[in-house]
Amino acid sequence: MDRDLLSHLPVIVAVARRGGFASAAAELGMSPSAVSHAVRLVEERIGQPLFARTTRSVALTEAGEALVAAAEPALEDIADRIERIRSVKGRASGLLKINVPRLALPLALMPILAAMAERYPEVTVEVFTDERLSDIVGEGFDTGIRLGEMIAEDMVTVRLTEPFRTIIVASPAYVGRHGKPRTLADLSSHNCIGYRLLRSRALYRWDLSDQGKDIGVETRGSVVVTDPLSARDMALAGIGLAYLFEPLVRADIQAGRLVEVLPEAAIDEPGLFLYFPRRASMAPKLRAFIDTAQEIGRASLRTPGR
């Protein structure tokens, strides 16, 4: 058995998953040169190149695909078994990687993280904020948080929030200068804060209700953002109209910092869910996170105004 080769297999899998040496190095906490050295050592021991490299990309060769296909599930199984052995002592441990949009932090994730820190101090939760709707399995995450309608059907889900509305808001200062839109057609004459979808690079069409029918409304304005929290900040600054989940601005509306416009055009969203592959839920660190999320989710659903 070639122990040097075996010890470097996690590096090969990380480079394949991340599609590059630098991103794999960041994930593993290694230098890019150390990652390159590990890949070169394995290639020399096997006698075949595992990656086709260019100045812009890194892709698996046929031999690399075969090796990763065999090594990745084996490494995952070993990691799961080690965690189960550790959990026999009654404590989950290890690194739990979660992929979430930024808005999930204030809406759902903060109380879960606080509880995890108290209950499972040996679990480190790495929160990767991402607006791209990434493939959590393909990119090496244990779990993720998304709107229910955006989650693949083969994933297991845990509800974190109640359903909520998506609404249009503006600051009193903006309304004082420009007035309120009275119809959906009036949006064309207002400064609407736009959203750029990171995966497709397209501008998002606002999903709104027109006499009970859902429609996509093209908007225009002086600012385009890539996440709702930035849109909220700009609405508070009086820049324009923002299209936001109601819980994100509930306190702002109650305090008079923002006002809702066109309330009849608001649409209903299913709420936020934790999601993960069925097999992954067997890992003690994820099981601990799921149980904590379920407990806090049930408590928040029982609390009026949440």
Tell me the domain boundaries of the chain. Answer: 3-87, 94-159+274-301, 164-269
Amino acid at 6: L
pLDDT of 153: 86
On the question of a common fold for 3-87 and 164-269, the answer reads no
pLDDT digits (tens, 9 = 90+) for 224-265: 999 999 999 999 999 999 999 999 999 999 999 999 999 999
The phi-psi region of residue 171 (left if phi > 0; otherwise alpha if psi is between -120 and 50; otherwise beta) is beta
Spatial separation of the C-alpha atoms in residues 32 and 20, rounded to whole Å: 10
- May I ask the CATH architecture of the domain 94-159+274-301? 3-Layer(aba) Sandwich (3.40)
What confidence category does residue 300 fall into, taking pLDDT thresholds of 50, 70 and 90? low
DSSP code, position 204: P
Report whether pLDDT(306) > 70: no
- Mean pLDDT (the chain, rounded): 89
Spatial separation of the C-alpha atoms in residues 79 and 90, rounded to whole Å: 17
- May I ask the CATH architecture of the domain 3-87? Orthogonal Bundle (1.10)
Antiparallel, parallel or unpaired: β 259-261 and 164-170? antiparallel
Spatial separation of the C-alpha atoms in residues 42 and 36, rounded to whole Å: 10
pLDDT digits (tens, 9 = 90+) for 11-26: 999 999 888 888 888 8
Could you give the C-alpha distances from 157 to 146, 292, 302, in angstroms and in order?
10, 14, 19
Beta bridge partners of 98: 127, 143
Axis crossing angle, helix 32-46 with helix 9-18, rounded to the nearest 10? 110
pLDDT digits (tens, 9 = 90+) for 66-89: 999 999 888 877 876 776 666 555
Q: Does the predicted model carry a pTM greater than 0.85?
A: no
- What's the distance, CA 158 to chain centroid? 15
The candidate with the shortest Cα–Cα distance to 166, out of 209, 122, 219, 223, is 209
Task: Please check whether the domain covering 164-269 is classified as CATH 1.20.120.80.
Answer: no
CB hemisphere CA count around 267 (13 angstroms):
15
